[in-house]
Amino acid sequence: MRRKIVAGNWKMNGSRDLAKSLVGSVRSGISDLDNGAEVVIIPPALYVRDVVELAGASVSVGVQNVGQWLSGAYTGEISAGMARDMGCEFALVGHSERRQLFGETDESVAAKVEHLLSSGLTAVVCVGETLAERESGKAESVVAAQVRSGLAKVGHDRWQQVVVAYEPVWAIGTGKTATAGDAQAMHGWIRNQLAELGAPAEDVSLLYGGSVKADNAAALFAEPDIDGGLIGGASLKAEDFVSICRAVPASI
């Protein structure tokens, strides 16, 4: 059975005061959540410890990025093992901003995924196309290449630690959102790619990310291959984030 997940990516936002108030409000808001959704908060690395201490049993914590190495002379990097040691259970890999701004490649994504799985973390592997790629008819081939390359090193016994997040680049932080039908079509395509990789495709959770808000979450999450969301800006507002968590149907 697929996991239902709503993960809030704070990106480079926050403070200790924000962490205290926001995590507390989210915990209170989901205290009676009964739809089976896993709620995850992914703060900047400097605030992971604060969020772990505040999260309690009802909220899981992740990191936004890890290095592609186990350890060594890589100033500024953190390893998958370090993230696990700090209490994280999830890690983003291959977010479009990492790909576009920091040159992250499918090969480095694959290396990071391998280390994350070995460390016992769940890897949230982000894939998605730009507007130019979609308009030129390349969206499916671009996403397929990202899925196949990024997950190439996943062993047959590790798929339960893999989550794929489809985030059309043109819909991140722009206010534009793929229609529920468009998002479902790509999620179905991703599931087909997973099956061709030999994964238990029907058991891998697929999340949609790209300007998900309280007023469109229910329509997106109602689609059969969308198992939750990777939430950006709306995760910084407790009321909005809680509403999105509540939009996950009791059965997907």
140 catalytic, yes or no?
no
CB 30: neighbour CB atoms within 10 A? 20
> Which of the residues 95, 97, 114, 115 is marked catalytic?
95
Determine which one of 114, 167, 187, 223 is catalytic.
Answer: 167
Annotation says 167 is catalytic: yes
178-184's contacts with Cβ under 8 Å and 24+ in sequence apart are 178/208, 178/210, 180/216, 180/219, 180/220, 180/222, 180/223, 180/226, 181/223, 183/208, 183/210, 183/220, 183/223, 183/226, 184/223, 184/224, 184/225, 184/226
Give, for 144, the enclosing helix (H) or strand (E): helix 139-150
Q: How far apart are CA 193 and CA 209, in angstroms?
A: 19
Length of the chain measured in residues: 252
Residues labelled catalytic: 95, 167
